[in-house]
Amino acid sequence: MLFVLPQVVGLLLFIAVPLVASFGYSFTKWDLIAPDPTFIGLGNWAHLLQDGRIPAVLWNTAKFILLGTSSFLFFSLLAALLTYVPRRFVGVYRALLFLPYVISQIAVGIVWRWMFNSQTGPITLGVELFGIHSPAWLLDPATAILSIAAVTTWQAVGYGMTLYVAALQGVPTTLLEAATIDGANWFQRFRNVTLPMISPTVFFLMVTSLIGALQLFDPVVAMTTSNAGVAGAGGPSNSTRSIVLYMYNQMFNYSEQLSGLGYAAAIAWMLAILTFVISALQFFVSRRWVYYDGADRGRQRNPRKRRTRP
């Protein structure tokens, strides 16, 4: 008990207490300046349902999830497939791919903002070298969220690759050899042997990257903020304002009837509930496609039931 005490105290102080407190604040109105919060019952929650900006910021976040999470999962796997087999300089390739992950998101955002500059950016100039008219990237509502998703994918690929490499190296070669003897081609081996064997890793990355994507904030601020500050971020034409950025705006930038900690806490809890629901859904669906080598999940969950079966 004594050994786990520091961890329990830390969890209570830094996780449980803030969670409970923020839930309590969601029933109050507080601009941080008044001496105390004012209890307003379900006022913030009712406003949440009526706030016409919420669907827009949720849709922006959903677009980012669809683009960012799927591309992250795909390109991480691609990078892992290219680098998991030991060969010359593979360590260097992996290190280079992992390098962006250790850089701060703000620094990455600022650099890529320059890369995407629609007048002088290397990407724009590169595209135009081939005689193709380059989109305005971060200045075009149609491509801004795509550009941000591309950058977050670029930054996170190294992390995903590392986990995939570990998973791929754990795939028994005997299974692959057996499949080869049975006449399976490369794609069939990948589809029917490798992918099921690494499915727990795919699932883990899917859940965690989706949770991260729901919390999109830093890249948007770094890549869309003008000199007007965070209050003006989320453009062009509101196309990249995420739910967390909107929460920040309501917390610090706006001076509306319910702006402040209370409404921001309600938004945060809505996001937490959304995250829980989506994650739960993922876990539910995962039973159909995630394969845990050597484990019968049903039996693991209720071993007694199995033992009493005749």
CB of 59 to other proteins, least distance (A): 14
Contact 207, 282 (CB under 8 A): yes
Dihedral over Cα of 100, 101, 103, 104: its sign: positive
The three-state secondary structure class of 38 is: strand
Q: Toward other proteins, which CB reaches closer, 118 or 282?
A: 118
For other proteins, the binding residue among 18, 39, 53, 296 (CB under 8 A) is: 53
State yes or no: residue 104 binds other proteins (CB under 8 A): no
Q: Which residues are CB-contacts of 297 (< 8 A; sequence separation ≥ 6)?
A: 287
Cα 101 to Cα 60, 148, 160, 233, 249: the distances in Å are 24, 15, 10, 24, 27
Q: Tell me how far, at minimum, the Cβ of 229 lies from other proteins, in Å.
A: 8
Spatial separation of the C-alpha atoms in residues 241 and 48, rounded to whole Å:
17
Contact 98, 157 (CB under 8 A): no
Q: What angle do CA 211, 214, 217 make, to 5 degrees?
A: 120
With CB under 8 A as the contact rule, the residue among 70, 192, 208, 253 that binds other proteins is 253
Instruction: Identify the residue among 134, 153, 162, 249 touching other proteins (CB under 8 A).
Output: 249
Is residue 7 near other proteins by the rule CB under 8 A?
Answer: no
CB 217 within 8 A of CB 247: no
Residue 110 or 179: the one with the smaller Cβ distance to other proteins is 110
- Residue 119 as a binder of other proteins (CB under 8 A): the answer is yes
237 binds other proteins (CB under 8 A): yes
Least Cβ distance, residue 136 to other proteins (angstroms): 7
Token output for 88:
């010359």
Report residue 141: phi and psi, to 5°. -55, -25
Contacting range for other proteins; rule: CB under 8 A; set: 150-158, 211-219, 227-235, 290-298? 227-235
Residues in 141-180 that interact with other proteins by CB under 8 A: none
Interface with other proteins includes 217 (CB under 8 A)?
no
Task: Kindly tell me which residue out of 54, 136, 207, 278 binds other proteins, with binding defined by CB under 8 A.
Answer: 136
Residue ranges in contact with other proteins by CB under 8 A: 2, 31-33, 53, 113-114, 117-121, 136, 139, 226-229, 231-238, 241, 249, 251-257, 261
